[in-house]
A = this chain, B = another copy of it.
């Protein structure tokens, strides 16, 4: 498959351009269009403070079909009151007018600075231009990916193809930055397209499952922003027999979507602010599933572990400390920890490992920390990244 962008699946046109939100002059408006209409599903931040785009998108995503999605970067439209809510609706109605569809058939997401009103006139002009630029070309998909970026250093894109009942189904996704990013930045946005024919409830189920093992397993600084949004649109043009129940076809699709989201999540971790490498924390032997995730998250989110990964230091003491203090049940005499495939702590005792060999494992782009709580049979995982001086520089020296 040559096209690796969100225009790869059948039935999607995209555009991305600069409309005047960002001071930098970089692209800040992205538009997606599905002329035949799509089934839609979305997942949103659980932050108690939600951006205007989240409120509007939550309402619109209930509808079928959805024809378009508009995303702006550079301004989160969060903490902006009723005026901000009106702006989000205006963005949808402008897209609707240009494409001759209904306002509530347009989805929306925003990312950027919190607490500033959108420059709605510029955005409306930008939407008119974007509609003229809409194309199913790879270049158009790439422009969309660039236009949703904030402090990301590169666009994040992934594609998957999968055979469903004799037809080739394509899934494509693009995402922007993990971590609360930049000053007052509100992350993350994921836009996924697919040409599968599927019922709306099943599409929502597959998205929820995929987010659960990807974006929701990624921690850069431990918090959800006011704007986190993931959207999937399914055009149905792959002409497979419509998926209506959780059969083998659904499972194949779900696995491919999981893989795609995992790919995007890892790209986000590797491109988190100041990050130079990422790691996966696998926790097993937990008394319950929640404990396994809690422990994995505690390790992945612990600044001292993140610093140790940055310095390629096989500092198992910090891992054990994070696990011990996060409030999960464990057996101190069975507690074990591996970095890569090397036991650094086993059955409650340090091992006689080779520090240089383990340090070499940590210097890889990705490595896995495995913790066995030694008390049950449940497991879960979390993705994390290292903490560098650049993270502090990016987040301390820039002034709002």
* Chain A residues engaging chain B, CB cutoff 8 angstroms: 45-49, 78-79, 81, 113-116, 180, 183-184, 186, 221-226, 298, 302-304, 307-308, 310-311, 313-318, 320-326, 328-330, 332, 335, 345, 348-350, 355, 359, 386-389, 391-393, 395-400
Q: Bound complex: CA of A215 vs CA of B186, how far in Å?
A: 32
Copy count, this protein chain: 2
By secondary structure, the A interface counts as loop
B residues within 8 A CB of A326? 223
B residues within 8 A CB of A324? 47-49, 226
Q: Bound complex: CA of A313 vs CA of B116, how far in Å?
A: 17
* With A115-B345, A183-B317 already in contact, 17 other A-B pairs whose C-beta atoms are closer than 8 Å: A45-B325, A48-B324, A48-B329, A48-B332, A49-B320, A49-B323, A79-B317, A114-B321, A180-B318, A183-B308, A184-B315, A222-B303, A223-B298, A226-B320, A307-B395, A307-B396, A388-B392
Q: Which of B221, B226, B317, B348 contacts A81 (CB 8 A)?
A: B348
B residues within 8 A CB of A298? 223
| A304 and B221 contacting across the interface, CB-CB below 8 Å | yes
Q: Given known contacts A321-B226, A324-B47, A350-B115, is B79 in contact with A396 (CB within 8 Å)?
A: no
Q: Bound complex: CA of A325 vs CA of B221, how far in Å?
A: 12
A329 to chain B, nearest CB (A): 8
B residues within 8 A CB of A115? 316-317, 345, 350
Q: Which of B321, B388, B395 contacts A308 (CB 8 A)?
A: B395
A5 to chain B, nearest CB (A): 30
Q: Bound complex: CA of A223 vs CA of B315, how far in Å?
A: 16
Q: Which of B221, B320, B392 contacts A392 (CB 8 A)?
A: B392
| B317 and A399 contacting across the interface, CB-CB below 8 Å | no
What residue in chain B is nearest A315 (Cβ atoms)? B400
What residue in chain B is nearest A223 (Cβ atoms)? B325
| A303 and B221 contacting across the interface, CB-CB below 8 Å | yes
Q: Bound complex: CA of A23 vs CA of B167, how far in Å?
A: 68
B residues within 8 A CB of A49? 320-321, 323-324, 332, 335
CB-defined A-B contacts under 8 Å, sample of 24:
A46-B325, A48-B328, A49-B320, A49-B332, A79-B320, A79-B345, A113-B317, A115-B350, A223-B298, A223-B302, A223-B326, A224-B325, A225-B321, A225-B325, A226-B321, A303-B303, A307-B392, A308-B395, A311-B397, A311-B399, A313-B398, A355-B400, A387-B396, A391-B392
